[in-house]
Structure 1
Amino acid sequence: MLLNATTNHPILLVHGLFGFERIGPFELFHDVKQALKAVGAQVFVPHLSAIHDNEIRGEQLLSQIHSVLRGTGATKVNLIGHSQGALAARYAAALAPHNVASVTSVSGPNHGSELADFLRKALIPGRLPEVVAQNVATRFADFLSQLSGHATLPHNALAALAALTTEGVGNFNDKYPQGLPTAWGGHGAEWVNGVRYYSWSGVVPELEEPSLGPVQEICSALSEYFVTELAQNDGFVGRFSSHLGTVIRSDYPLDHLQTLRRATGQHAMVNDSISLYVEHALRLQAANL
């Protein structure tokens, strides 16, 4: 018997920093999208600016939510945001709760990123490093946008970085606190203004082989820049910093990018992050979402 995980409302997969919907034959959410469609879910991937602050990207998401609602006849959507996509999803839900059934944060920096703090401090305002970083990041984002067919979307590298720091997200949270825990490392409110909040994330797994690939090695190396959540982060976001709403689990043995794509090799069965999205569709279905 085929698994049926059809949800009451369409699912929107919201990408994070440097994300995109499609570049040529490559789709960022390909594995997730295909797995959800296979179990009956209606899935869309909105395209937001590859690098910009949380509110600009949130406004872009709101516009695309309205397009999905018009096109499908649905009244609400389920938002699943990866990384910075979780902040855009939170923004949309805060401003238009009547159009959002649920927000799910996957590896979202809901209390900021210590890595962003480190990188921002490394860029000296008004000096060459900041200018170089701005130009390189913006040019890369422009390149991605050209390839993806969304070249008209604005980009601002420094605004994106500042928006992901502990201070930047703290300011964001002051305005949009829905679903945030009241105690560090705890759960947040399950329901706020009719919107259901969930989250899950991982921590960098121990490297048991000489090399699991360049991406895993990069995440492992970046994890060393954390202080508050040393050994409790996925290379980009701290475990407890990711908490929002009902915390399904925040220590899956998955780095930041492994929560987005299917594992390969001997770790494929142990760390199948794609199955987490299917399980979540069933969770949304059971909650009549």
Structure 2
Amino acid sequence: MKKKISLLGLSLICGLTAINAQASGLQKVNASYVSSDYAKTKYPIVFNHGMFGFSRLGTSSLGVDYFYQVLPDLARNGANVYATQVSPLESTEVRGEQLLQQVDEVLALTGAPKVNLIGHSHGGPTIRYIEIVAPNKVASLTAVAGTIKGSKVADDILNNKAANLVLTIVGQYLVAPLETLLEGNPNLPNNLNRSLQSISEKGSTEFNAKYPSAAIPTDCGNGQKVTSNGVYHYSWTGTAQITNILDIADSAISQLAPLSYKNSDNDGLVSRCNTHLGQVIRDNYYQSHLDEVNQVLGLKGLFAPNPVDLFRQHANRLKLEGL
């Protein structure tokens, strides 16, 4: 009898594990009211977070979204919008395959043939992976401070054994698992070195050589806005580090790139030119790397642009392009 119960328990555990492993983590963001159709694009808008990112920690009533206050605002302005959930720390290919599953889910739910993809930081190369493997499912790509050509911060950490060890212990074994647990998808894999290699300048150069795109400029200018596969490409970024003295976490993180690059032509984690993809909307907003997604909790510079406004305006841009 005990053996049967044990086998049953094991079966249930394996079954639950399988269910969790297959759970995509896709979140549909709805609004309690719709005030306009200003952001009502032809195709759904799908957001993808960056390294150490998340879709939402907690519940819709008691939680924090990665793109803080952005998606609900778009929904109130008519957008059909989704947040995706991929591994906080993994390679572009692993994250990309996770994202592809959720893109397919959006297409099945909406009946739309394509989606507009928006990715922040490592989300930039991650959404580019979808264009590489399934260009017919992509209407547009928008990289917000995307690590399109990588971040030297990652190269430096990979080359520093002490920093790598500390970040592995804290990031891979504590922070990232806690994030996936709070997201309700604890079985998402995490690997710091694969993540760092993917967003490093060396790894990004190799990735872009393997999967070239006319949307990636060879210099610090614009890439091709619409490539031969019909996909539209956009990008923007900031060039600030400390924008609000109350935002201690953001200010601390944003000192990494100035140390690596020995200059402030970056948003604290990614250099300005390395974020360019397609049409560069602007590359010098008074924003740090976390300001760009309205973190932490909406704290920003006094005269800085409102990130929520920028995303709303971009959704309207996509709408006017027929996307």
TM-score under structure 2 length normalisation: 0.82
Per the alignment, in what secondary structure is the counterpart of residue 141 of structure 2? Answer: strand
Distance 2:294 2:282 in 1: 18
TM-aligned CA distance change 1:266 to 1:171, over 3 Å: closer
TM-aligned CA distance change 1:206 to 1:132, over 3 Å: closer
Is 1:197–1:246's contact at 8 Å kept on the other side of the alignment? yes
Alignment pair present for 1:163 and 2:195 = no
The Cα shift of 1:132 comes to 4.6
Distance 2:289 2:307 in 1: 11
Partner of 2:237: 201
Partner of 2:3: none
The Cα shift of 1:17 comes to 0.6
The Cα shift of 1:104 comes to 0.2
Partner of 2:283: 250
Is 1:51–1:156's contact at 8 Å kept on the other side of the alignment? yes
Per the alignment, in what secondary structure is the counterpart of residue 198 of structure 1? Answer: strand
The residue identity in structure 2 corresponding to 1:234 is D
Is 1:204–1:223's contact at 8 Å kept on the other side of the alignment? no
The Cα shift of 1:164 comes to 1.1
Is 2:215–2:278's contact at 8 Å kept on the other side of the alignment? yes
Partner of 1:27: 65
Alignment of 1:119-130 (within 5 A): 119-123=157-161, 130=164
The Cα shift of 1:142 comes to 1.1
Report the more deviating stretch, 197-206 or 80-89. Answer: 197-206
Distance 1:22 1:32 in 2: 12
Deviations 1:212-270 (A, max 9, x none): 42034214422321327x21100110000100000000100100000001644772x63
**Aligned length in residues:** 281
The residue identity in structure 2 corresponding to 1:201 is T
Partner of 2:322: 288
Partner of 2:108: 70
Per the alignment, in what secondary structure is the counterpart of residue 116 of structure 2? Answer: strand
Partner of 1:41: 79
Alignment pair present for 1:274 and 2:312 = no
TM-aligned CA distance change 1:224 to 1:241, over 3 Å: same
Distance 1:14 1:76 in 2: 16
Alignment pair present for 1:59 and 2:93 = no
Deviations 1:111-162 (A, max 9, x none): 11011122111127xxxx6455333321121111111111111111111011
Query: For structure 1, which runs of at least 5 residues remain unmatched after alignment?
Result: none
Partner of 2:292: 259
The Cα shift of 1:43 comes to 0.5
The residue identity in structure 2 corresponding to 1:62 is L
The residue identity in structure 1 corresponding to 2:53 is G
Per the alignment, in what secondary structure is the counterpart of residue 254 of structure 1? Answer: coil
Is 1:219–1:255's contact at 8 Å kept on the other side of the alignment? no
Per the alignment, in what secondary structure is the counterpart of residue 201 of structure 1? Answer: strand
The Cα shift of 1:34 comes to 1.2
Is 2:118–2:127's contact at 8 Å kept on the other side of the alignment? yes
Is 1:17–1:84's contact at 8 Å kept on the other side of the alignment? yes
Query: For structure 2, which runs of at least 5 residues remain unmatched after alignment?
Result: 1-34
The residue identity in structure 2 corresponding to 1:222 is L
TM-aligned CA distance change 1:22 to 1:174, over 3 Å: same
Per the alignment, in what secondary structure is the counterpart of residue 199 of structure 1? Answer: strand
Partner of 2:14: none
Distance 2:54 2:251 in 1: 23
Taking only the aligned residue pairs, the percentage that are identical comes to 36
Distance 1:132 1:217 in 2: 20
Deviations 1:72-93 (A, max 9, x none): 1111000000110111100101
The Cα shift of 1:205 comes to 5.2
Partner of 1:90: 128
TM-score under structure 1 length normalisation: 0.91
Report the more deviating stretch, 152-161 or 248-257. Answer: 152-161
Distance 1:143 1:58 in 2: 21
Runs of 4+ in 1 over 3 A off after TM superposition: 129-133, 179-182, 262-266
